[in-house]
Amino acid sequence: MIAQTGAGPGEIESSYAWLRLAVAVTISTVGGVGMWSFMVALPALQTDFSVGRAEASFPFTMVMLGFAGGGVLMGRLADRFGIAVPLAIGTLAVAAGYLATGLSPNLWLVSLAHALIGLGCSASFGPLMADISHWFVQRRGIAVAIAASGNYVAGTISPPVVQHFIATSGWRATHIGIGLFCLVAMLPLTLALRRRLDVHQSEADNAADRMAEVPLSPLTLQVLLCIAGVACCVAMSMPQVHIVAYCGDLGYGVARGAEMLSIMLGFGIISRVGSGFIADRIGGVRTLLLGSVLQGVALFLYLWFDGLISLYVISALFGLFQGGIVPSYAIIVREYFSPREAGTRLGLVLMATLLGMALGGWMSGLVFDLTGSYRAAFLNGLGWNLVNVAIMVWLLQRTRRRMAYA
């Protein structure tokens, strides 16, 4: 077991807290490659194993399922033992998953290995955000958003790099190399996060006061957030998972698609950091609602424009509009639930968002196989996005009505 050291309330928003945030972003960036490498490898896997688009998308579904289940498991471990323990376990799982992928003789073993990758990557996302949320109060929104941005930094940097190595060395050698890199880079950084901050009663009381403003039980609110998470990420997955293959189908080439994915996620970094500033001022629910509406606007634009320049522009807008959605769920969890349950509660919500990504990635591939076009897949995403928007509007109205009668 990794030894943990304690820290007191005087270190909240201290220089150490900001240093811890920098280490967390670095770990999230390295570990986040597991979320994005498959998008670039999809055409190569489909060709190598001679399968349809839906079947070739299955490893991504397994990544999301592993990430979803791992988020809850790693969150529980972080709540009990601190963040260093799940990070160490996650690093080993990521390395093993990538090595197994590179050595797998068929797509089903690749899919199982990707479940292990997802399990490991989960430790460097939700649990890290929950951990950072304890070290900040006044600047919690921006701190959590910065922590979450590491995942998008990985998405910005890794697609062109992975595409280069797949083109020059093959997808098998590339996956083995990623596994070894993650192992060497992440384990030493994990040791820097051994200190734990004591959770204080005042924060728990503030969360209880916020919960009292919503005429819902904690279980009901948790379920609503999970349903909203599934819906928003089914919509989100269409461009993120299939933009590379979409560009290949349009004749622009997978390299252009990889560039669009990088642009999308690069603007997503701006969105995530910006959403943190916004959340510190208007709260998590309103920030989530704003991002969800704008995500729908971008999906609508994909329906009408498929020129090369247009796709670059719309991909940038999509990243700018939706990047703050997932961090907003973390803010909402910290606003309405006890900090002692932050890792587990956030893990459940992120599990739902990742189930949405898994479902959406597979569903979009299936729609393409059935129709020969991604147009219906974009329409499907718009419909799911409306579900998320409706839940946030309803929740905001219920909160306002309760406060008006109070």
Confirm whether 4 is domain-assigned: no
Q: Residue 381: which CATH number?
A: 1.20.1250.20
Confirm whether 3 is domain-assigned: no
- Residue 286's domain spans which residues? 9-405
Dist CA 19 CA 2 (whole Å): 20
Confirm whether 1 is domain-assigned: no
Task: Walk along the chain (406 residues) in steps of 10 and give the mean pLDDT of each run.
Answer: 54 85 93 85 87 82 84 86 92 96 92 94 88 84 86 82 91 94 93 77 49 70 92 89 86 86 85 86 89 94 91 94 86 79 80 84 85 87 93 83 48
Domain count, the chain: 1
Confirm whether 225 is domain-assigned: yes
Q: Is the dihedral of CA 173, 58, 271, 308 positive or negative?
A: positive
pLDDT tens by residue, 187-219: 999 988 888 876 554 455 455 445 555 667 888
pLDDT tens by residue, 87-124: 999 999 999 999 999 999 899 999 999 999 999 999 99
